[in-house]
Structure 1
Amino acid sequence: MLRCLILLIFVCGSVYATVLEPVTLQLKWVHQFQFAGYYVAKQKGFYREAGLDVNIMPAQMHQPDEQFKVLTGQAQFGVTHSGLLEQRMSGKPLVALAAVFQSSPYCWMVHADSNIYSPKDFQGKRISHLGRSEGAELVLILERAGIDVSQLPIYSGMSPLQDFKMGKFDALQVYISNEPFKMAQQGIATRQICPKHYGINVYADILFTSEDVYTYRPELVAKFRSASLRGWRYALANLDEALQITKLYAKQKSYEELANEADKLLPFIKAPGIPVGNMSLARWQWIAQLYHLDLISFHEHKSAFLYSDSSKTEINWSWMLILAIVLSILCVPMYISLVLQRKSYSLQD
């Protein structure tokens, strides 16, 4: 009888331990070191410890749309760019949870023998096509140097890397950890002109969610955010292990490519004295001013746009907690029944 009792307790405890809430994280690009912290959080069990079963979804390379996936409920969380603020102010109910990159890794790539050394040298040069939503900081560094971007000839071909290599245009918008490495592998020497080097440190790779999830599932948001940042802290402190874990996801990339990514991206993630994922209201206001956004509108949206622990003080009973209570109610009568049955057998003896 004692064995039955122990077995019952074990079964009930196992049920509690294995009930995980399914959650989807939508990335802004394909699997690579750029998202290492999330892979680490999953593989090291940080999400599981938070009661979450996280599915990390890569973007479609030719049609990334992480904000749409989150807004439509196809994903609870996503990773996006600093244009998130403009989207919020235009009416999309999106909430910024953490800024993993303290500076943008988007840069202009030019040939090493080019006469382009700084933004002011872009006058009359042919550049790759880019919009103002993602990579807007690349336009900003040119405008701040007095360049009328609307007057620059634009390349809009279908093979940008190959055409850049052949010299068909002068400057290509790149992610500092990707295209320059590909060019170097082909023996093409390049250099990069990055917003970070000219004082434009806009946030990048921002973890975000929808206002509905933030409002109605604050405990889920807090758990996912905490476990994700824990993953990033572990990844930064254990780079070799983080690279090995990332390789499980980024199967299309070599270990050498991933190591190069880590080396190039660390300066954009780490900032002296700033915790991983940190965001400040003052910095977001500065970003709004850089993007020429209406500051009155910014102040109207800021409280709903930025994550805050203090704004979620009420007690929230998750479905997992409710399930645990239900299981307890079911297990207790069974326990009492077993105890009474055992006493009955003892009296008979």
Structure 2
Amino acid sequence: MLRCFYLFAFICTSVHASVLEPVTLQLKWVHQFQFAGYYVAKQKGFYRQAGLDVNIVPAQKHQPDEQFKVLSGQAQFGVTHSGLLDQRMQGKPLIALAAIFQSSPYCWMVRADSDIYSPKDFQGKKISHLGRTEGAELVLILERAGIDVNQLPIYSGLSPLKDFKSGQFDALQVYVSNEPFKMAQQGIATRQICPKHYGINVYADILFTSEDVYKYRPEMVSKFRSASLRGWRYALANLEEALQITKLYATQKSFEELANEADKLVPFIKAPGIPIGNMSLARWQWIAQLYHLDIVAFHEHKNAFLYSEESINDINWSWMLILAIVMSVLCIPMYVGLALQRKNYSLTD
């Protein structure tokens, strides 16, 4: 039996060996403070402590298809928008692990001298191209104000910031931490009209994985998620250090730009009384209703779509049960052999 114990210890040690497991995280955009928690988790060694060697890959600006990268196996994890739910209900085997942003940072930007102050003022105004997948909440706030978005004139030029500055159209879809800052640097004062201000608090920057990764590497998924959230908690508690770490990745941005991003984005990440990354079933159902998704279909998909630590524990217990059975099968012949050997010794004596 002692041999069984040593064999069991050897197997466990091998399973938890110090060799780091390679993992790729595909971002939804280029390196910036928006992804600071992941940089911190890597640089502070949180991933390494979890046995992971994480490669953080920025998106290509003109082809940020993070969902395809994960589904095709080019990455194990990705960061995407709340439209992930719609994609899941269309049949894509995607799983939401955590919502880093409790509210969407997508806003409409108008010039400070514009007569647009609220969604109802968009009537007859020329706006930038409507993205109904990412940033669908921007369409929602207009529709809720009674605006027929199909009747609005659409800007379709190739230089949106330049043309916005020259007044060729009235409102531009922006990420609250980016374009307004660029306009301010050029001396153009702007205002932002954001879904959050009108009660549309959809999740954003969803950390996600695929069903295959979740099914075959559940412990790795749990470790990556835990280390990532630890990185985000550390980043928000140590902003100055988080900015310094982010600058190692976002080399194309000035420290001033990154500091502005942090200032603008932290309120979208932190919500009173809500842990970093928290997701609720009720909130996702509300998002499904906002996006006019089939609620019956939502309830069919919800358990497979939302990550649960309990299911990971169930998988781990199943793994331990299988290991125990294997050990029993291995040890029984050894035990029988030992018993026969002792019997032979006693007969010889």
Structure 2-normalised TM-score? 0.86
User: Counterparts of 2:27 and 2:34 in 1: how far apart (Å)?
Assistant: 10
**Structure 1 residues 61-117: Cα deviation after superposition (integer angstroms, max 9, x where no partner):** 111000000000000000000000000000000000000000000000000000000
- Equivalent in the alignment of 1:314: 315
Once superposed, what is the RMSD of the aligned Cα atoms? 1.8
User: Counterparts of 1:117 and 1:191 in 2: how far apart (Å)?
Assistant: 8
**Structure 1 residues 243-294: Cα deviation after superposition (integer angstroms, max 9, x where no partner):** 0000000000000000000000011000000000000000000000000000
Matched, 1:60 2:60: yes
Secondary structure in 1 aligned to 2:173?
Answer: strand
- Equivalent in the alignment of 2:103: 103
- Equivalent in the alignment of 2:269: 269
Q: Which amino acid aligns with 1:171?
A: A
Shift of 1:314: 2.9
Q: Which amino acid aligns with 1:314?
A: I
- Equivalent in the alignment of 1:69: 69
CA contact (8 A) 2:88 2:305 kept: yes
Matched, 1:228 2:231: no
- Equivalent in the alignment of 2:248: 248
User: Counterparts of 1:307 and 1:35 in 2: how far apart (Å)?
Assistant: 20
User: Counterparts of 1:41 and 1:140 in 2: how far apart (Å)?
Assistant: 35
Q: Gaps spanning 5+ residues in structure 2: where?
A: 1-12, 324-349
Secondary structure in 2 aligned to 1:154?
Answer: coil
Q: Gaps spanning 5+ residues in structure 1: where?
A: 1-12, 322-349
Q: Which amino acid aligns with 1:269?
A: I
Shift of 1:215: 1.5
- Equivalent in the alignment of 2:90: 90
User: Counterparts of 2:257 and 2:91 in 1: how far apart (Å)?
Assistant: 39
- Equivalent in the alignment of 1:204: 204
User: Counterparts of 1:231 and 1:121 in 2: how far apart (Å)?
Assistant: 41
- Equivalent in the alignment of 1:125: 125
Q: Which amino acid aligns with 1:134?
A: E
**Structure 1 residues 150-204: Cα deviation after superposition (integer angstroms, max 9, x where no partner):** 0000001100000000000000000000000000000000000000000000000
**Structure 1 residues 223-261: Cα deviation after superposition (integer angstroms, max 9, x where no partner):** 000000000000000000000000000000000000000
Q: Which amino acid aligns with 2:120?
A: K
Q: Which amino acid aligns with 2:315?
A: E
User: Counterparts of 2:143 and 2:45 in 1: how far apart (Å)?
Assistant: 46
User: Counterparts of 2:122 and 2:52 in 1: how far apart (Å)?
Assistant: 48
User: Counterparts of 2:315 and 2:113 in 1: how far apart (Å)?
Assistant: 61
Secondary structure in 2 aligned to 1:259?
Answer: helix
Shift of 1:130: 2.1
% identity of equivalent residues:
87
Which stretches of structure 1, 4 residues or longer, exceed 2 Å deviation after superposition? 314-318
Q: Which amino acid aligns with 2:63?
A: Q
Q: Which amino acid aligns with 2:217?
A: R
Q: Which amino acid aligns with 2:152?
A: L
- Equivalent in the alignment of 1:163: 163
- Equivalent in the alignment of 2:28: 28
User: Counterparts of 1:237 and 1:163 in 2: how far apart (Å)?
Assistant: 39
Higher mean C-alpha deviation, range 308-317 or range 116-125: 308-317
User: Counterparts of 2:159 and 2:273 in 1: how far apart (Å)?
Assistant: 41
Q: Which amino acid aligns with 2:271?
A: A
Matched, 1:293 2:289: no
User: Counterparts of 1:163 and 1:181 in 2: how far apart (Å)?
Assistant: 16
Secondary structure in 1 aligned to 2:30?
Answer: coil
Secondary structure in 2 aligned to 1:124?
Answer: coil
Q: Which amino acid aligns with 2:270?
A: K
Secondary structure in 2 aligned to 1:258?
Answer: helix
Shift of 1:214: 1.0
Secondary structure in 2 aligned to 1:131?
Answer: coil
User: Counterparts of 1:284 and 1:219 in 2: how far apart (Å)?
Assistant: 25
CA contact (8 A) 2:27 2:58 kept: yes
Structure 1-normalised TM-score? 0.86
Shift of 1:17: 6.4
User: Counterparts of 1:242 and 1:154 in 2: how far apart (Å)?
Assistant: 39
User: Counterparts of 1:272 and 1:259 in 2: how far apart (Å)?
Assistant: 22
User: Counterparts of 2:227 and 2:150 in 1: how far apart (Å)?
Assistant: 44
Secondary structure in 1 aligned to 2:311?
Answer: coil
Shift of 1:311: 1.4
Secondary structure in 2 aligned to 1:60?
Answer: coil
Secondary structure in 1 aligned to 2:69?
Answer: helix
Q: Which amino acid aligns with 1:264?
A: K
Secondary structure in 1 aligned to 2:315?
Answer: coil
- Equivalent in the alignment of 1:347: none
User: Counterparts of 1:134 and 1:18 in 2: how far apart (Å)?
Assistant: 40
User: Counterparts of 2:130 and 2:78 in 1: how far apart (Å)?
Assistant: 22
User: Counterparts of 2:18 and 2:190 in 1: how far apart (Å)?
Assistant: 51
User: Counterparts of 1:30 and 1:176 in 2: how far apart (Å)?
Assistant: 15
